[in-house]
Structure 1
């Protein structure tokens, strides 16, 4: 895993670069968030490929549990990927509603996350 740091205005953003699944459960998400929080990171950019596929099956409850932690700690999260491959109205509605807010966004490219932060 590599972390590329971006500074946009007064915000410090950690872009996670990896080919591996880094978040398989709530504990993985908390550990990543804690590590970056103590480095004074304001936001995390991570690839959809770095999160267990069950996250995108809302019936598992994993997405809700993980995103609740990000909400509790007020850490912005940008998940980058192609979300059209996940079927179902529920996940599409979930992504749509998340993208209306500022805390968790599902975007197609890192550049879009940087624009949203700028």
Structure 2
């Protein structure tokens, strides 16, 4: 399945294909933002599409990517199991916790959980 805009809980979401290209640079993140401009308000990126540097906060890659989404007023949702990454980093655990309390960046286990969050946010 290619990346596609889907209506999820009444919100247009760019749902990214798990088999799509890796998001390994800021340019890759900007490509997703550009694709979202076709009408999406949210970009749902599977964990497998994110370079491992995203979860190593010392690289600042996650911060750079997240800031791009905030700047363009798009919500970024990381979809999938990140329990291994969170278990190995208290800083990442704190980031996930704080992000999930806010509006712009969410970490959810699956698309059903994303649907629930979108319904709760409206």
Question: Normalised by the size of structure 1, how large is the TM-score?
Answer: 0.91
> Which consecutive residues of structure 2, in runs of 5 or more, have no partner in the other structure?
none
Answer yes or no: is 1:42 the counterpart of 2:41.
yes
Alignment of structure 1 residues 1-118 onto 2, 5 Å: 2-7=2-7, 8-9=9-10, 11-37=11-37, 39-86=38-85, 87-118=88-119
Higher strand share: 1
User: How many residue pairs end up in the alignment?
Assistant: 116
8 Å CA contact 1:12–1:41 kept in 2: the answer is: yes
CA RMSD between the two structures: 1.4
Misfit runs of 4+, over 4 Å? none
Q: Distance in 1 between matches of 2:33 and 2:20?
A: 17
Residue 31 of structure 1 deviates from its aligned partner by 1.4
